[in-house]
Amino acid sequence: MTTLAHRRQTDRDRQKRWRDHQHRQGKKQVAAMISLKAQLILNREKKRTGETHSEIIERAIMKLAGR
């Protein structure tokens, strides 16, 4: 049987592999606090498009840049 400590370590390892993969793809991690209204819009767009939050935010930023 798997212990809680082992599961936590496995989760940390999986998350590190995912972050490392994203970095190799040229992506950078950012943190932001957004309003409840912005979060509702983001979640609605996620449901509408099936995209991830990251994809939606990146698309919005690129649109601001005219790309």
What per-residue confidence (pLDDT) applies to 13?
96
How deeply is 9 buried, as exposed, middle or buried, from its count of CB atoms within 10 A (0-12, 13-18, 19+)? Answer: exposed
What are the structural domain ranges in the chain?
1-28, 31-67
Q: How confident is the model at residue 67 (pLDDT cuts 50, 70, 90)?
A: confident
Reported residue count of the chain is: 67
What per-residue confidence (pLDDT) applies to 2?
81
Q: For 8-30, write each residue's pLDDT tens digit.
A: 999 999 999 999 999 999 999 99
Q: Say which residue, 1 or 6, is predicted with more confidence.
A: 6
